[in-house]
Amino acid sequence: MKKYLFLSLLGLMEIAVIACSEEESNNDYSIKASSYYNNSNGLLVLGQKLPNPYSLTNMQAAYNDVIAELGSNPTNEYVHLTDLYVRFLPADSAELSILRDDDGLELFDYPLDYEILSTEGRFYQDPKLSSSNNGDITWLYTTVPPNYNFHQSIQYEILDSCFIPQEDINTSTNVAEFFAKVEQQSFENAGILNMFDTDNDGTTQYKGWLSGYYPKGTFRVEDNDLSNYAGIKRVKIRCNVIVKWASTYTNDNGYYEMGKKFRICPIYAIKFENNLDFKIWDKDCPILTASYYMGSHSKKGHSRDIGTNSTAWNLATINNAAYDYYIMCDATQIHRPPSNLRIMLLGGTTSGSAAMVRRIYNHPIIINTANFLVNFYTSVSSPQLVNSLIAAFGWVLPDITIGANSTHSKNIYNRVNHELAHSCHYGLAGDNYWAEYASFIANSYANGYGTYGNMSLSNSGYCGVGEMWGYTMGNLQEIQKYGGSSTNGHGYWFKPQILQELVTEGVLTPKQIYDCLIPDVISHALLKQKLRQEYPSNDRQIRLKFEEYGF
C-alpha cells in the first residue's frame, strides 16, 4: 500500500491530485577515520557489506580454533543457535503497524552487517526501494529468537542463523571469558577485528578484548533560553555491533547503563521512544520512530551534549517538553494523554496541531468534511508541507504534529505543552467532540476565515473552548519553567486569558478547569455555567472574569 493509503481510507479523492500536483586489501575491512563524514540531510550512508562474525558457521569455526588452542573446553557450553538475523518488507501501513506493535521486535531501518560511513544520521532508505519518494517503505532488520512466530502475511527473509553471546549479571565469569575468546577469534577469522581495535579515547581495544563493559553515559540537550543542558529524559538508547544489540532507557537525568556487556565498540543511537508512553516521529522518515545515530564509540559508554546545531536538537527538545507535561499530569491528577501517543516533528513551520487523526480518521464527520486533510493541515502549517504530510500518513497517522522550525527552547516548550493539553482534552471530551472541532478548523480555513474562524460561525464553540484550554496550559507551563509572562493566543476571539487569569489569580486550578471539559461543554457559555456550578464558592470571580472579556 503506497503513500496514499490514508487518503483512500477517507475517500478524499481530490487530495490525491494535489499530492501528485579508503583502500582495502583482500579480506581487510578496516575503516580509517578519514572515511567518515557527516551527511547534512540526515540520511545514513552505508559502505561495504561485512562478513557476519556471529553467524553460526563462523562462530562454530572460531569455537573449534579456540578449543584446539586451549586443548579442552573449560565450560559445559557450546555454540548453538540463539538468533535469526532477519528482515521484513511490509506491504502497507497495516502490516507495518503489526511489526511496530510487536513488543518482541527491535527494528532497524538499515542492514546490520554493513559499514556505516556517516558519523551521525537519522534514517536510512534502501536505494533499491524508490528512495526518491518521501514516505516509501524500506526493509526493516533485526534478530529474533529461533522460535519466533513470523506473521505469515508479511514478507520476510532469514538472512543468517547466529550464535550471539549475551552477557549480563547472571553470566558466569568462566563462560563469559571463554566465549569472549570465541567471539574475538571469529572477528579475526572474518578479517574485521582491526575495524574495531581503537576506542575513541585512544586505547587499543584489541589488547583489552577480554575486558567487557556495560556501556553507560549521559545524553543531554541544550536549553538555549535557560543557558544550560538538561538530560534527555526517559528515551531509549540502543547499542549494536553488527547483529549483536542491546537497549535500555535513560533516567530523568539522561543517564543510561546497558544491561548487557560489550567487548568491542558499538554503534550508539537514541530512539525517541519514551517510556512514559509516547513516541516521536519525523515526517522525513516516518517508517519507524525517530532515531539519532551517532556512530561507533567506546565499549565503556558514550555521552553527548546535543546543541542547537544538531539534527537531533528539535527531537530531544520535544521529548523533554512532553516529559514535563506528563509529570505535571501525574502531579495534578489531570489525565495523561491517550496511550501510545504519536507526536510527529515537522520542519519548516512553527505551528502545531492535535487533530488526533489516527483516532478519528474514520469518523463520519471527518469523512464528510470536504478535503479535510488538506484544509486542516494547511491551516495549521503551510501549503508546502501538505504533500509531505500526506506522503507520511501512509505509514504513520499522528496524534499531534509539532512544528519545530524554531531556535528557541521556550517556544517549542510552549507549543508541545499546548498540543498535549489538547490531547488530554480529547481523552475527556471524546471522538464526537473532536471530530466537530477538527472539521470546524478545516472548514473555517477552506472558507477563508482563518484557522480559528470567528465566534459567529456554526460550531465555533468547540474550537473556542478547546483553544482556551490549549493556550492556557501552554502559557502556564512555560511560565512555570521559564518564569516571566506568556500571552500566546491572547489576541484571538476566544480569549484564553480568561482561564489563564482564573489560575494565576488563584480562583481555580488547572485540574478544576480540566474536569469541566466534558463532551457537552461546547461553548464559552456552557463552560462558564459548568465552572460556576462545580465551584459555587468561586461563582462571582468566575462570572466576572468571563464578563470582563465579553462572555
| Per-residue pLDDT, 7 | 33
The phi, psi pair for 111, rounded to 5°, reads -70, 130
Burial-class residue 201 by CB neighbours within 10 Å (0-12, 13-18, 19+).
Answer: exposed
| Per-residue pLDDT, 453 | 93
Q: CA-CA distance, 157 to 1, in Å (whole number)?
A: 20
Task: Please indicate, yes or no, if residue 425 is contained in any of the structural domains.
Answer: no
Task: Please indicate, yes or no, if residue 316 is contained in any of the structural domains.
Answer: no
Task: Please indicate, yes or no, if residue 331 is contained in any of the structural domains.
Answer: no
Task: Please indicate, yes or no, if residue 98 is contained in any of the structural domains.
Answer: yes
| Per-residue pLDDT, 43 | 76
Q: If the chain, 551 residues long, is cut into consecutive pieces of 10 residues, what is the mean pLDDT of each piece?
A: 32 26 29 33 81 97 94 90 96 86 89 83 72 62 96 94 89 89 93 70 54 94 97 97 96 97 92 96 83 90 94 95 98 97 85 88 81 75 59 72 86 97 97 94 89 94 98 98 97 98 98 98 98 98 98 97
Report which of 370, 426, 379 is spatially closest to residue 399, judged by C-alpha positions.
426
Task: Please indicate, yes or no, if residue 409 is contained in any of the structural domains.
Answer: no
* Three cell numbers, residue 427: 481523552
Task: Please indicate, yes or no, if residue 15 is contained in any of the structural domains.
Answer: no
Residue showing cell 462572555: 551
Q: How many domains does the chain have?
A: 2
For the question of whether the overall pTM of this predicted structure is more than 0.85, the answer is: yes
| Per-residue pLDDT, 388 | 57
Task: Please indicate, yes or no, if residue 175 is contained in any of the structural domains.
Answer: yes
Strand partners, 85: 143, 160
DSSP-assigned letter for residue 375: H
Domain span at residue 514? 456-551
Strand partners, 341: 278
| Per-residue pLDDT, 130 | 55
3-state helix, strand, coil in the chain (%, to 5): 40, 20, 45
Strands (E) located in 165-259: 216-223, 228-231, 235-241, 244-249, 255-257
| Per-residue pLDDT, 3 | 33
Residues 171, 138 contacting (CB under 8 angstroms)? no
Task: Please indicate, yes or no, if residue 302 is contained in any of the structural domains.
Answer: yes
Q: CA-CA distance, 436 to 463, in Å (whole number)?
A: 9
